[in-house]
Amino acid sequence: MPTRPVCVDGAWVDDILLLGDGRDVVLHLDAPVTRATLRELVAAQRAEFEAAGLTAGGSLAVRVPPSLSCIVAMLAGWRAGAQVILLDYRLTPHEVGQAIARLTPQLVVEPTEKVGGALWGFFHVDVRLTPLKGGRPAATDHALLQLSSGSTGPSKVIGRTVASLLEEIDRYGQLEGFPRRGERTVVLASIVHVLGLVGGLLYGLASGTQVVLPTSQTLDGILKAVAAGPEPTTILGVPSQAALLAASQSPTRPPQLRQMITGGELIKASVRERFTNGYNAGLGAMYGMTETGVIAVDLFGTAAGLTPVPGMRVRVEDEQILLGLPASPYVGSIDPTRYVDGWLHTKDAGHFDEVNGLLTVHGRLDSQVSVGGLKVDLSEVEASIAALPGITDAVVVHGTGIEAYVTVAEQSVTDRLAECLATRLAPYKRPRAVHVLAELPRTATGKPVRNAQTLRSAARATAGATPAQK
């Protein structure tokens, strides 16, 4: 990859991401996209942004599903010298409205028509540009803003500078076993979240690794994407997608498939065994955060823990993983205990073995969980449910999935719950089950019990009670 200059404007897009032979195929959706074509699309989109009033130092919100249009909008926003705010396209209008009010972008990029289809790998969309009255220029020097749980409310605004993004790209480039120039990466992780965005898209553009988005994220769609080119291929996704591939009874074994690398959750041993045996390919793992990107890896799936990536300072204190960072990644007000004396308190539980230098991640210490590789803050889900008409109390926990336990003012409230939740929460945040209890179990001090087993017992007791007992 080229030497990294000190970037102070949008030139880094040309100098790092779009530099190289224009004939090279850098993206493949349903058709190949050369570097020259991508340059032309980015230049045209930048001209449209500037005609709409976007200038260097401005702010741009992109809420577009995975697509060529999404990629072009991001790159064009950065090339114009603007701060790009990435919003998940699956957010409801209610959530988008809150995010826009909170972040005040000057320009919003959205699809001209509503899109749907949970298993589509990418979409064909046209976009519209909407200048916002009251939108403000970027208040910080961050090139990228994201919301920690993909929405508003208790989520945190996370900023990444150009230097931070380029440093992460370089960290990927130093990892033995990560895709290289002349190879392909089938990206299943969302390109509007950190793994798919930096580890897939931006690293691919900078390194010359071809980035492939499959037509669909079904078993057949993924395997067709792998088999579509002769180059050695890596799949980049989350453990649930590895489980989908591993569940195939008679898996097709494309000879191009070298490995799959997952992030976002722990990989079950049974999934690893079925995948590696079924495809004769490696199944690696990465640990990272929106705040920092990749932190530690086991790309071959053979180690007893994860190795911190070059340049990342990691230690464990009181069973919590801490990361050494030059500055806080958060924008706006935040819990002052999250970043102290140069150390980010991740609220992830872990153990660091000083002898072999391996990190073991045990899971979350707070209410944030991972669902299909996407971060969900349970306190946000709980607050959204508790605010619904007729709900008198609510507790949300995570076991095999998100579960909600509620009390209601009257039984008829339950008939409207699904419809109300659909307007308040993105699909991946909605509880897979909502249990109506006569009353919530509470501790001796009156606090709601958050033990999933206790709550399930209460739900069974309520279901088994007679109408008179309820």
Q: Which domain holds residue 154?
A: 11-309
Q: Do 32 and 181 fall into the same domain? A: yes
Q: Rounded distance, CA 380 to CA 325, Å? A: 27
Q: Are 62 and 84 in contact (CB under 8 A)?
A: yes
Residue length of the chain: 470
Q: Is 253 in the same domain as 147?
A: yes
Selection from 7, 39, 357, 16 nearest residue 198 by Cα: 16
- Taking the C-alpha atoms of residue 389 and residue 25, their distance in angstroms, rounded to an integer, is 53
Q: Which of 67-81, 161-175, 389-403 is least confident? A: 389-403
Confidence check: pLDDT of 65 > 90: yes
**Is 4 within the bounds of a domain?**
no
**Element holding 271 (H helix, E strand):** helix 269-279
pLDDT of residue 462: 83
CATH number of domain containing 260: 3.40.50.12780
Higher pLDDT residue, 17 or 442? 17
Residue 328 placed within a domain: no
Q: Do 73 and 217 share a domain, yes or no?
A: yes
> Which tokens hold the place of 10?
């949008």
More confident residue, 367 or 435: 435
Full DSSP string of 214-256: -SB-SHHHHHHHHHTSSS-EEEEE-HHHHHHHHT-SS----TT
Q: Is the pLDDT of residue 78 over 90?
A: yes
CA dist 291 and 45 (Å) reads: 28
Same domain, residue pair 124 and 34:
yes
Question: Residue 346: its pLDDT value, please?
Answer: 92
Find out whether 292 and 326 touch, Cβ atoms under 8 Å: no
Choose the final residue of a domain: 289, 309, 329. Answer: 309
- Round to whole Å and give the CA distance between 230 and 155: 42
pLDDT number for residue 447 = 62
* Same-domain pairing of 265 and 169: yes
What SS3 state is found at 66? coil
Domain count along the chain: 2
Using the predicted structure, report yes or no on whether residue 158 has a pLDDT greater than 90.
Answer: yes
Task: Please give the Cα distance from 182 to 231 (Å, whole number).
Answer: 7
| Euclidean distance between the first and the last CA atom of the chain, given in angstroms as a whole number | 67
The greatest distance separating any two alpha carbons of the chain, rounded to the nearest whole angstrom, comes to: 76
Q: Which two tokens stand for residue 302?
A: 């053979």
CA distance 342 to 339: 7
Separation of alpha carbons 55 and 277, rounded Å: 53
- The pLDDT-based confidence of 444 (bands split at 50, 70, 90) is very low
Burial class (CB in 10 A: 0-12, 13-18, 19+), 338: middle
Instruction: Report the alpha-carbon distance of residue 152 to residue 100 in Å, rounded.
Output: 9
Q: Could you report the per-residue pLDDT of 13-35, keeping only the tens digit for each?
A: 999 999 999 999 999 999 999 99
The verdict on residue 160 lying in a domain is yes
Q: Quick one: average pLDDT of 329-333?
A: 89
- Map tokens 């309820």 to a residue: 470
Establish if 241 belongs to a structural domain: yes
CB atoms closer than 10 angstroms to residue 224: 16
Least confident of 283-287, 289-293, 343-347, 366-370: 366-370
My answer on whether 45 and 186 are in the same domain is yes
Determine, yes or no, domain membership for 6: no
Residue 98 sits in the same domain as residue 229 = yes
User: Is residue 317 predicted with pLDDT exceeding 80?
Assistant: yes
Residue 330 inside a domain? The answer is: no
CATH of the domain at 456: 3.30.300.30
Residues 260 and 394 placed together within one structural domain of the fold? no
Using the CB atoms, write b or e for 373-399: b if 16+ within 10 Å. bbbbbbbbbbebbeebebbebbbbbbe
Rounded distance, CA 210 to CA 28, Å? Answer: 7
DSSP state of 428: G
pLDDT tens, residue by residue, 364-423? 776 778 888 888 888 788 888 888 888 888 899 988 889 999 988 887 888 888 888 888
Judge whether residue 45 has pLDDT over 90: yes
Say yes or no: 291 and 376 in one domain: no
Express as a percent the part of the chain with pLDDT over 70.
94
Cβ count near 336 (within 10 Å): 8
Work out the mean pLDDT of the chain and round it to a whole number. 89
Query: What percent of the chain is helix, strand and coil (3-state, nearest 5)?
Result: 30, 30, 40
**pLDDT tens by residue, 171-185:** 999 999 999 999 999
Q: With 70 as the cut, is the pLDDT of residue 210 above it?
A: yes
**Could you tell me if residue 361 is inside a domain?**
no
428-451 mean pLDDT: 80
Residue 83 lies in a domain: yes
In which residue are the tokens 């609220």 written? Answer: 347
β-pairing verdict for 402-408 and 433-436: parallel
Q: Which residue has the higher pLDDT, 61 or 448?
A: 61
Of 431, 432, 430, 438, residue with least CA distance to 459: 438
Cα–Cα dist 346/147, whole Å: 15
- CA–CA dist 161, 6 (Å, integer): 12
Residue 163 and residue 29 in one domain: yes
- Let me know whether 301 and 382 are in one domain: no
Which residue, 309, 328, 347, sits at the end of a domain? 309
From 309, 341, 362, give the residue that closes a domain: 309
Q: Write down the pLDDT at residue 150.
A: 37
- In this structure, are 304 and 381 located in the same domain? no
Helices (H) and strands (E) in the chain, counts: 13, 25
